[in-house]
A and B are shown apart, each in its own frame.
Chain A
Amino acid sequence: MTGTSFSRRRLLAGVTAAAASLALTGCVGRRDGDYAQVSGQVPERFARRERVVLWSAFTSHNATVLQSIIDGFNASQQDIFCEIQLFPGYPALDSKLAASFAVAQVPDLVTLSDVNWNRYFLAETLEPLSGYFDAGFGPDAFHPRFLAEGTIRDQVYWLPWARSTPLFYYNKEIFAGAGLPDRGPKTFTELREWGHELKGFTYRGAPVRMRGYTGKDDWYFQGSSWAFDGSYSDGMVSRLSSEQTVAALEFDRAFIHDDQMAYLADDINADFAAGVTATICNSTGALTSLLKAATFEFGTAFLPEQDAPGVPTGGSGLAVMRNSTKARKQATWEVIRYLAEKGAPEWSLNTGYLPVTASSLNSPKIKERNAATPAYQVAQDQLSRARQADVMRRYVNETISEMLIVLQKVYASNADPGETLREATRNLDPAIQRVLPKYRRLVAS
């Protein structure tokens, strides 16, 4: 009896294992072709229209602004209904989007950040958009520098929308109190010298430090690596452990641990608004919220240079999913057209993101706003010295995670910059090798 039971069990186990192996080879991965649309809520009055689903990573105020623009689109015509589905930030949207491919049910239009759209491009999931332009709506509707960032081998895959650069923010009251000039420092060396002058200064009853660093974003270090003539990579060849990149990180280390005039903040915005730190580097996109939060006058300036300017572009753009149906993609293009021609000025005006379309660059309202609040004009002027992140940061997904560990080790634990960057280089090598064949096939010239 025991023997029969044992044999039957083994037989069942064997059959299950074989079936599982067969099934698994088919269930992991992604089939090509037209995918279904993700489900959602369509109001009765829009039920007969072609539905376009827009996945947005914008929250709170920015989400309201985008909804208002899309409401305008839905009211402006009779054929298309655009539905926004919200996600709390890019990582949340990214993981949901990845999952949507697994079940072959995708949105049509997605806001993808400057460092994760490339991943979807390498996976061949983005629709090439150059063929959609026509005489009435051409590539000149977008800022050429930003449009070029989403163009690969003469095909546009990613259109500029919520684009930004880092900006130098300084508390004017603290600067005046400490006898510092009313401007941003020209170089990192000058910033450090000002840090020495600020030593012992108190503001609203508490000691102040010169700069609050964040350990949650390596974007700013991408810029300072350039300022010290270093970089993350030259093409796909890592330059993280180059003498210049190490020097950039050594500057931060010394400023924090030797001078004790900078520190790793949990929330740079909150600390700046509370007067805990005299300066921060933060996105141009944070300008509007900081203007609301700060109870003191603050100034904005270009990021400090050292041997060269170091201003990385960032933010997000719009991408169309290749596996959407032809009709949905055509309808999606109409949404994009409305956003670029009609929505973009309202978007830049209300969020603080850079004007990236002809409509917003020429908008009288934006010019008025910049004249009234020159901080916005500083952000626009700095654009001339900005460039997109290094190839490794854009295409090797692990780079940002690895660099966050490097920065946190140096900022929080006074780790040796050279050693940590060499270790990161070693850790990233397998990831580079994994991405390299696809990169060579689809991107490299």
Chain B
Amino acid sequence: MFSYWPIVENVYLSFTTWDFISSQADWVGLLNYQALFSSWSFPQVLLRTLVWVVVVVVVTLVLGLALALLFAQRIRGATAVQTLAFAPHVLSGAAIATIWLFIFDPNHGLSRLVFEAFGASSPAWTTDDSWALWALIIVSIWKGLGFVAIVYLVGIQQIPAEVLEAARIDGAGRWTQFRRMIFPLLSPTTFFLVITQTISAFQAFDVIAMMTNGGPARSTTTLSWFIYDEAFNRTNVGGSSAASMIMFVVLMAITVLQFRFVERRVHY
């Protein structure tokens, strides 16, 4: 009831025009979908969302794996570093955004000091449309990195030591061990992380809401923010619901494709 009824109602709303408070929603058929695909901005939102998802997921996974490999080395202080790395995952998006807004502030923030040390001036991270999306991507990667690293670390620790020992005896170097043994054996973990991180990146909202409100000039408006903006800032409930349905279909398609094609390459 609580999971599926909102979906059913959302489908209905996507065929109506309504502003939340009018006495009734008027049926408009496919008009909301037509409006989305005929506007110049919605395809840009989809493209931006794609860039956001791909960069955030790929970079988080690559850096997370690198961090996990580092944690797997039995070095002093590793546990403390693991805890620190995991901390951003348990912090609220609002708290993280507030911290990063201070860091990115070109007039008073850490960014100014860092850039001035190199004789340059800090970019206006959140008010310049060529930097804003990258600023949010950096924050999202930082937020997700610890979780990915810890999940990968668990995966690495489950690889039997004798398998790697045998590879070493057979003369496999570190890179060959990683490429031929560790990475393939981590494929179930990677598969799990790709699906969860993709869905999470699609649904990213808190950091955008706190740091840029989708701006400047819609340069950080991803699909999730677009849905919110249409519904609550423009009170275009029908358009927002139609965009939600598109997001639902896209996520469903990605998940099905991943299960159908990527899972074949997973070694359990």
Which A residues lie at the B interface, using CB under 8 A?
A: 20-21, 24, 27-32, 91, 94-95, 97-99, 101-102, 119-120, 123-125, 206, 215-216, 263-266, 270-271, 274, 276, 397-398, 400-401, 404-405, 408-409, 411-413, 415, 427, 430-431, 434
- Which among B8, B20, B233 is the interface contact of A101 at CB below 8 angstroms? B20
Give the Cβ gap from B170 to chain A, nearest Cβ, in Å. 52
Report if B263 contacts A (CB, 8 A): no
Q: Is the CB of B126 within 8 A of A98?
A: no
Report if B89 contacts A (CB, 8 A): no
B 89-144 contacts with A by CB, 8 A: 101, 105, 107-108, 124, 126-130
Residue of B nearest to A271 (CB): B107
Contact A123 B21, CB 8 Å, known A91-B233, A266-B105, A408-B217: yes
Residue of A nearest to B211 (CB): A266
Residue of A nearest to B15 (CB): A24
Q: Is the CB of A32 within 8 A of B23?
A: yes
Which B residues lie at the A interface, using CB under 8 A?
A: 8-9, 12-13, 16-25, 35, 39, 101, 105, 107-108, 124, 126-130, 213, 215-219, 229, 232-236
Residues of A within 8 A of B21 (CB): 30, 97-98, 101, 119-120, 123, 125
A-B contacts besides A24-B9, A413-B129, 15 pairs, CB < 8 Å: A28-B25, A32-B23, A98-B20, A98-B235, A101-B20, A119-B235, A123-B19, A206-B107, A264-B127, A265-B127, A266-B126, A397-B234, A398-B234, A408-B129, A412-B216
Interface of chain B, helix or strand or loop or mixed? loop
Q: Is the CB of A264 within 8 A of B9?
A: no
9 contacts between A and B (CB under 8 A): A24-B12, A30-B23, A99-B20, A101-B20, A123-B23, A266-B124, A274-B107, A401-B234, A408-B215
- Which among B23, B35, B215, B229 is the interface contact of A29 at CB below 8 angstroms? B23
Residue of B nearest to A122 (CB): B22
Give the Cβ gap from A31 to chain B, nearest Cβ, in Å. 8
Residue of A nearest to B235 (CB): A397
Residues of A within 8 A of B215 (CB): 215, 404-405, 408
Give the Cβ gap from B122 to chain A, nearest Cβ, in Å. 12
Residues of B within 8 A of A123 (CB): 19, 21-23
CA A415 – CA B232 in complex, angstroms?
27
Give the Cβ gap from B30 to chain A, nearest Cβ, in Å. 15
CA A31 – CA B216 in complex, angstroms?
39
CA A206 – CA B116 in complex, angstroms?
12
Give the Cβ gap from B123 to chain A, nearest Cβ, in Å. 12
Q: Is the CB of A405 within 8 A of B235?
A: no
Q: Is the CB of A266 within 8 A of B232?
A: no
Residues of B within 8 A of A263 (CB): 124, 127
Q: Is the CB of A430 within 8 A of B35?
A: yes
Give the Cβ gap from B100 to chain A, nearest Cβ, in Å. 12
Contact A28 B12, CB 8 Å, known A99-B20, A412-B129: yes
Contact A276 B9, CB 8 Å, known A124-B23, A405-B218, A415-B217: no
Residues of B within 8 A of A21 (CB): 12
CA A119 – CA B21 in complex, angstroms?
9
Contact A28 B18, CB 8 Å, known A271-B107, A274-B108: yes
Contact A28 B216, CB 8 Å, known A20-B8, A101-B21: no
Give the Cβ gap from B48 to chain A, nearest Cβ, in Å. 14
Q: Is the CB of A29 within 8 A of B127?
A: no
CA A190 – CA B238 in complex, angstroms?
47
Residue of B nearest to A430 (CB): B35
Residues of B within 8 A of A411 (CB): 216
Residue of A nearest to B132 (CB): A412
Residues of A within 8 A of B18 (CB): 28-29
Contact A413 B217, CB 8 Å, known A24-B12, A266-B127, A401-B234: yes
CA A120 – CA B19 in complex, angstroms?
10
Residues of A within 8 A of B126 (CB): 266
CA A125 – CA B232 in complex, angstroms?
18
Residues of A within 8 A of B130 (CB): 413
CA A413 – CA B124 in complex, angstroms?
12
Give the Cβ gap from B131 to chain A, nearest Cβ, in Å. 10
Give the Cβ gap from A321 to chain B, nearest Cβ, in Å. 11
Please list the 4 inter-chain residue pairs (A to B) with the smallest Cβ-Cβ separation, ordered nearest first.
A98-B20, A408-B216, A29-B24, A408-B217
CA A444 – CA B200 in complex, angstroms?
47
Residues of A within 8 A of B35 (CB): 430
CA A97 – CA B23 in complex, angstroms?
14
Residues of B within 8 A of A434 (CB): 17
- Which among B9, B20, B236 is the interface contact of A27 at CB below 8 angstroms? B9
Residue of A nearest to B126 (CB): A266
Residues of B within 8 A of A30 (CB): 21-24
Residue of B nearest to A24 (CB): B12
Q: Is the CB of B233 within 8 A of A401?
A: yes
Residue of B nearest to A265 (CB): B127
CA A97 – CA B232 in complex, angstroms?
11
Residues of B within 8 A of A28 (CB): 9, 12-13, 16, 18, 24-25
- Which among B9, B17, B108, B229 is the interface contact of A401 at CB below 8 angstroms? B229
CA A135 – CA B25 in complex, angstroms?
42
Residue of A nearest to B121 (CB): A207
Residues of B within 8 A of A206 (CB): 107
Residues of B within 8 A of A98 (CB): 20-21, 235
- Which among A29, A31, A91 is the interface contact of B25 at CB below 8 angstroms? A29
